[in-house]
Amino acid sequence: DGGITQSPKYLFRKEGQNVTLSCEQNLNHDAMYWYRQDPGQGLRLIYYSQIVNDFQKGDIAEGYSVSREKKESFPLTVTSAQKNPTAFYLCASRFEITYNEQFFGPGTRLTVL
């Protein structure tokens, strides 16, 4: 089955630790995205990537880093510099950079203790 997988579903970390969230897609999509969702809020764009080995900052990139070494994978690292990392993180992808709908993964809920 084609789709987007995110792991783990729930993640707990101590304050000050870096943590990496996984996102894999087998839809052969070119573009991939990371969003952050806080309770009662919409989705805010962290990073996006149009092609392999290229990515751009979104609206709230500070304290996060990404890599795009393979078309299928777009991992997100939440660093200790992110002041308030507890949130729900969603990964998405789409075929072309312009106008097509995005498909979303199931999300990772990160809690920093």
Partner 1 sequence: AQKVTQAQTEISVVEKEDVTLDCVYETRDTTYYLFWYKQPPSGELVFLIRRNSFDEQNEISGRYSWNFQKSTSSFNFTITASQVVDSAVYFCALSGTYKYIFGTGTRLKVLA
Residues near partner 1 (CB under 8 A) = 33, 40-43, 45, 48, 50, 56, 58, 88, 90, 92, 97-107, 109
Q: Please provide the DSSP assignment of 2-27 as one string.
A: --EEEE-SEEEE-TT--EEEEEEE-S
Name the minimum Å distance from CB 16 to partner 1: 26
Task: Decide whether 16 or 39 has the Cβ nearer to partner 1.
Answer: 39
- Dig out the tokens for 102 from the structure: 């995005």
Residue 71 or 88 having the CB closest to partner 1: 88
Q: How far is the CB of 45 from partner 1 (least distance, A)?
A: 6
Smallest gap, in angstroms, from Cβ of residue 57 to partner 1?
11
Q: 85 or 105: whose CB is closer to partner 1?
A: 105
Cα separation, 4 vs 72, in Å, equals 9
DSSP E strands in 8-107: the ranges are 10-13, 19-25, 31-37, 43-49, 56-57, 64-66, 76-78, 87-94, 103-104
